[in-house]
Amino acid sequence: MAVLHLLAIVAFHLLIISEAKDSDFIYKEFTNPKRDTFVYGTFPKDFAWGVATASYQIEGAWDADGKGPSIWDTFTHNGRSHKKQNADVACDSYNKYEEDIAMMKKLGVSHYRFSLSWPRILPKGFANEVNREGIEYYKKLLDALHKANIEPMVTLYHWDLPQVLQDMGGWENEMMANYFAAYADLCFQAFGEQVKLWITFNEPTIFSLFGYELGTDAPGLPHNGYGAYRVGHTVIKAHAKAWHLYDQKYRKSQGGKISIVLHGNWFEPKNPDSEFDRAVAEKASYVELGWFANPIFGDGDYPAIMKDMIANNSRIQQLSTSRLPEFTEDDKRMIEGTFDFFGLNHYTTNLVAHKPTVSEHFASFFMEFNGEMSQDKESWPEPAGSPWLYPVPWGLRKLLNHIKQTYGDVPIYITENGFSEGEGPLNTKDTARINYYKAYINEALKAYLIDSVNLKGYFAWSLMDNFEWRSGYSERFGLYHVDFEDPERPRTPRESANVYAKIIKNNGFPVQAGTDHTEL
């Protein structure tokens, strides 16, 4: 059956491969010589091609027209980001959204993923005081997208919590699940006619861990060993409540889809011959994604491997109960199956080696695994702008297959993928980013064509340079460059914008006449 399926696909798409040319992405060494071979072929006809952004990172207008402050306004105004930078103005997309849409038209995207600023809509956090001007802004944006024939994918929460809700404990307060559901209800009501793809949360692992465990991100609380787990527990319930609300109250009339976006690295054993390294790498993959994916896409509960790990470590730390909270049976029934697709943000791969890290005296998510993360600095190309972002394209294909094997044949959108460079004078020749996009999109194509992964779309991060959280403007992810020194915030396309536009126009990498191809 599998063989027949593969043959059918090969025949249908004229799947043809060729050895990498010097313009393609080449690794210095690899164990499987075919691994990095470039594949020619195209994505399905209705494939979603998009770009992604987030409200705090692009909008600016931080206190305009009745907007309340978010935890990121507080955090940056306290000087906690790189060079005390903030996003008070950022890309000024609050005023320049029409320019943004013109850029999207040039790229030829079919979809735009952006997020709503909760404190712009509800300055006091709660749904009893609605800021009309906030609603109007997003309605204008949605109308303009509609006119441009671009489908919106709207994230309800991309990290900019109203400060007033943080003053009540933020995501560590269980009541947040209800407050979030009320905010979601209002958004479905206000925008649901125009929005057919909803995302509840962007990367809950990341804002839990960096905001409430390490404290390097807003709200900056170093609640090591327990903060992130408490946050995650409430966020999962908040997501499930919003999903059920949409399902029961809006799905029939509005006909959209709603799900969650999870961050996933691929984890590769540092020494593939070591069963210890293999076991820790596997654990890392099952826990990073599975913390949120297993409850939602699996059986309603945390992965067993995660529950055991944290319970054991808590025992070593002389605690009477696990630091990971438990779901009730009712919780599990409410949470299980609350998805319409799988939203995946993926950027890089890590090597994992076994190393005893669990301590009797200090608890931390990052020490829970008895493992150590690193990068293969010998074989992987240097990251250009973000020290953590090593381009490892084959990791994406492995991760997509892992998702299919672990959570079933669910429709997957790659909701973020992209590459950064450092600050500096405008250089439109962004070869490293071009190589990154070509190679990663090609691995996505392999997952679709060869591995039959149910891939529905791909969103590049990001449309333009923007405020990169604690790194300020020092890491640039844009297909378009933005000059943050100029009050006009002029945007200039980089070469990668043209390359991405061409990939979109071709719906992948069709076979070209006159090039040297070998059949698979």
- Choose the binding region for ligand GOI from 173-181, 198-206, 351-359, 431-439 (rule: CB under 6 A): 198-206
Residue number, 92 or 416, with CB nearest to ligand GOI: 416
Selected range binding ligand GOI among 202-210, 218-226, 227-235, 322-330, rule: CB under 6 A:
202-210
Q: Is 93 in the site for ligand GOI (CB under 6 A)?
A: no
Catalytic residue, chosen from 172, 203, 268, 421, is: 203
Q: Is residue 75 a contact residue for ligand GOI (CB under 6 A)?
A: no
Instruction: Catalytic residue, from 416, 443, 468, 475: name it.
Output: 416
One-character DSSP codes across 379-390: TSPPPSS-TT--
Nearer to ligand GOI, 245 or 367 (CB): 367
Write down the least CB distance from residue 343 to ligand GOI, Å. 11
CB of residue 210 to ligand GOI, shortest distance in Å: 6
Binding to ligand GOI by residue 387, rule CB under 6 A?
A: yes
**Stretches 199-207, 246-254, 315-323, 442-450: which one binds ligand GOI (CB under 6 A)?**
199-207
**What is the Cα–Cα distance from 157 to 451, expressed in whole angstroms?**
32
Please tell me whether residue 345 binds ligand GOI under the rule CB under 6 A.
Answer: yes
Pairing of strands 38-42, 16-18: antiparallel
By CB under 6 A, tell whether 416 contacts ligand GOI. yes
* Catalytic status, residue 203: yes
Long-range contacts of 502-506 (CB under 8 A, 24+ apart): 503/437, 503/438, 503/441, 504/49, 504/107, 504/108, 504/109, 504/110, 505/108, 506/42
Residues 449-468 that bind ligand GOI (CB under 6 A): 461, 468
Smallest separation (angstroms) from ligand GOI to the CB of 16: 33
326 counts as catalytic: no
Which of 55, 85, 200, 202 is in the footprint of ligand GOI by CB under 6 A?
202
Q: Token pair of 501, please?
A: 């536009």
Question: What are the distances in angstroms from CA 90 to CA 68, 157, 197?
Answer: 17, 18, 26
Q: Of 377 and 502, which has the nearer Cβ to ligand GOI?
A: 377
Q: Which of 477, 484, 500, 509 binds ligand GOI (CB under 6 A)?
A: 477
| SS3 category, 257 | strand
Least separation, in Å, of the C-beta of 389 and ligand GOI?
7
Per CB under 6 A, 388 contacts ligand GOI:
yes
Nearer to ligand GOI, 194 or 345 (CB): 345
Q: Residue 15 or 71: which CB sits closer to ligand GOI?
A: 71
- Enumerate residues 6+ apart whose C-beta is below 8 A from 411: 340, 341, 342, 454, 455, 456
- Of 38 and 419, nearer to ligand GOI (C-beta) is 419
Q: Count each helix (H run) and each strand (E run) in the chain, helices first.
A: 17, 19
Least separation, in Å, of the C-beta of 308 and ligand GOI?
A: 23
320 Cβ contact list (under 8 Å, min separation 6)? none
**Whether the Cβ atoms of residue 441 and residue 457 lie closer than 8 Å to each other:** no
64 class by beta-carbon count within 10 Å (0-12 exposed, 13-18 middle, 19+ buried): middle
Let me know the angle formed at the C-alpha of 365 by 171 and 56, rounded to the nearest 5 degrees.
40
151: contact with ligand GOI by CB under 6 A? no
DSSP letter string, 46-79: T-EEEEE--HHHH---TTGGGPPPBHHHHHHHTT
Nearer to ligand GOI, 54 or 434 (CB): 54
**Residue list 492-511, contact with ligand GOI (CB under 6 A):** none
* 228 phi/psi in degrees, rounded to 5: -65, -35
Please provide the distance, in angstroms rounded to a whole number, between the alpha carbons at the two ends of the chain.
Answer: 19
Residues 230, 263, 404, 438: which binds ligand GOI (CB under 6 A)?
Answer: 263
User: 3-state SS string over 446-492?
Assistant: HHHHCCCCCEEEEEEECCECCCCHHHCCCEECCCEEECCCCCCCCEE
- Closest approach, Cβ 518 to ligand GOI, in A, equals 36
CB 323 within 8 A of CB 310: yes
Least distance (Å) between residue 50 CB and ligand GOI? 14
344 vs 503, beta carbon nearer ligand GOI? 344
Closest to ligand GOI by CB, 198 or 210: 210
Query: Which residue from 151, 203, 268, 336 is in contact with ligand GOI, where contact means CB under 6 A?
Result: 203
Distances (CA, A) of 250 to 176, 186, 203, 245, 366: 22, 11, 24, 7, 40
Residues 475 and 467: their CA atoms lie apart, in Å, by: 8
Active site amino acids: 203, 416
What is the contact surface with ligand GOI in residues (CB under 6 A)?
A: 54, 202-203, 206, 210, 263, 345, 347, 366, 387-388, 416, 461, 468, 477
